[in-house]
Amino acid sequence: MERIPISQEKAKKAIRQAPSSNIAKSVRRIYFTGLYESAEKRGYWHTDIMSGMGSGILIKFDNSFFLLTAKHVLKDLLKYNTENGEFPNESPFWIDVCHKPNWDSLYDFLMPKRIWDIGQLIKLDEKIVTSDVLLVELFPPAPLHFPDNFIDITEKSYFLEKSFFYTGQYLFLTGYPFEKNNYDWTVEVPNFTHGTKVHRVSYLGTFQDDSNIGFISFEIMDGEVTHENSKGMSGGVIYNVQENLNDIKLCGMILTASNNICHFLPSYVLLDAIVNYKTVTPITVDPMAEQVINPKDRINHIKEYYKTFTSSYQSSVGMYRQNIAKLKRKKRVKKKR
């Protein structure tokens, strides 16, 4: 591949802006949930605990949304399912629909529907565990709660081809390390038991070709990437650096990082596995995935949804317009004085 050199100033700018690209923001933090009482006993589903760590990449394919993540991120849940035949609750983990400072309702989360073990489709003789990847099928988002950043797999041009990897190539890792995203159980806020900060972290490294699928080195960084400051980033996104943000490509998914090295699954391997996901047998997470909903109930639910959120939206728009009007009046008064 012919590489066109750019000025040092342009290169620095490209590096600075890369973590703000759509590819970078396609990464989501995984929140694990716990219930003190089952939904059946309580009469409704309600999470009492949010905990754990892990990252994933939000993608869209086959008119559905999926979370691409490392298999070991969900290993405890998968073990639980194997031993007991079911998961701890109907929604044992979830992710944000959008990148926003606060959550207002359950519609702000995407819930797991099925898990597809696409790792079994990857047949490579490598030192790393190439089967360490899962595709989580998600329930569709509500109309007024559509995701803001994701990767559309129908546009295969988003994936960096094998021939475009080269030694020394700048690659970014982005995810949610637990070190920056731990849970605080000492919050002194009424009606809240615990809280957490949400910090998306990016590390810059270079691709190293070892005649296999390669790895990423962080020797160019001032600090050091260790297991401790990268724990929780597994399943996160890897992407390259381009002058134009829209030209940035998905280069892979994080598996493990420590000792200034990251092992990952490259984009060209992931793409083939994702496209052929239906050739494996899925694991049902939420029983609702297999239930047929009465059309009348669905219509009533949609009506209530629109009634709730369109009114709150209109109210917020009204408040915004009132505030703008107040500011304009104040400006007019100052001018008269």
Q: How confident is the model over 226-272, as pLDDT tens digits?
A: 999 999 999 999 999 999 999 999 999 999 999 999 999 999 999 99
Q: What is the mean pLDDT of residues 169-195?
A: 91
Q: What is the mean pLDDT of residues 63-84?
A: 91
Smallest CA-to-CA distance from 31 within 6, 15, 55 is with 55
Asked whether residue 54 is assigned to any structural domain, the reply reads yes
**Half-sphere exposure of 218 toward its Cβ, with a 13 Å CA cutoff?**
20
For residue 250, the model assigns a pLDDT of 97
Share of the chain above pLDDT 70, in %: 89
The DSSP element (H or E) to which 31 belongs, if any, is strand 27-34
**Which of the two residues, 101 and 258, has the higher pLDDT score?**
258
Q: What is the mean pLDDT of residues 116-135?
A: 86
Domain count, the chain: 2
Co-location of 102 and 15 in the same domain: yes
Q: What is the mean pLDDT of residues 184-206?
A: 90
Co-location of 312 and 272 in the same domain: no
Asked whether residue 333 is assigned to any structural domain, the reply reads no
Co-location of 230 and 112 in the same domain: yes
For residue 292, the model assigns a pLDDT of 72
Asked whether residue 3 is assigned to any structural domain, the reply reads no
> φ and ψ at 251, to 5 degrees?
-105, -15
Q: What is the three-class DSSP state of 33?
A: strand
Asked whether residue 1 is assigned to any structural domain, the reply reads no
Mean pLDDT of the chain: 88
For residue 20, the model assigns a pLDDT of 96
Model confidence at 133, pLDDT cuts 50, 70, 90, reads very high
Model confidence at 325, pLDDT cuts 50, 70, 90, reads low
Co-location of 303 and 180 in the same domain: no
Asked whether residue 24 is assigned to any structural domain, the reply reads yes
Co-location of 300 and 207 in the same domain: no
- Per the listing, tokens 């803001």 go with 148
Co-location of 69 and 130 in the same domain: yes
Q: Which domain holds residue 308?
A: 294-328
pTM: 0.87
Q: Is the pLDDT of residue 41 over 90?
A: no
Bridge pairing between strands 55-61 and 151-152: parallel
Asked whether residue 334 is assigned to any structural domain, the reply reads no
Measured CA to CA, the distance from residue 39 to residue 41 in angstroms comes to 6
Co-location of 223 and 307 in the same domain: no
Q: Is the pLDDT of residue 324 over 50?
A: yes
The answer to whether 131 touches 223, Cβ cutoff 8 Å, is no
Co-location of 284 and 299 in the same domain: no
Q: What is the mean pLDDT of residues 282-288?
A: 92
* Other beta carbons within 10 Å of 35: 18
Q: Is the pLDDT of residue 317 over 50?
A: no
Co-location of 286 and 300 in the same domain: no
Report the greatest alpha carbon distance in the chain.
79
For residue 45, the model assigns a pLDDT of 82
Asked whether residue 313 is assigned to any structural domain, the reply reads yes
Q: Is the pLDDT of residue 125 over 90?
A: no
Give the CATH number of the domain where residue 213 resides: 2.40.10.120
Co-location of 221 and 314 in the same domain: no
Asked whether residue 219 is assigned to any structural domain, the reply reads yes
Co-location of 72 and 196 in the same domain: yes
Co-location of 46 and 189 in the same domain: yes
Model confidence at 6, pLDDT cuts 50, 70, 90, reads low
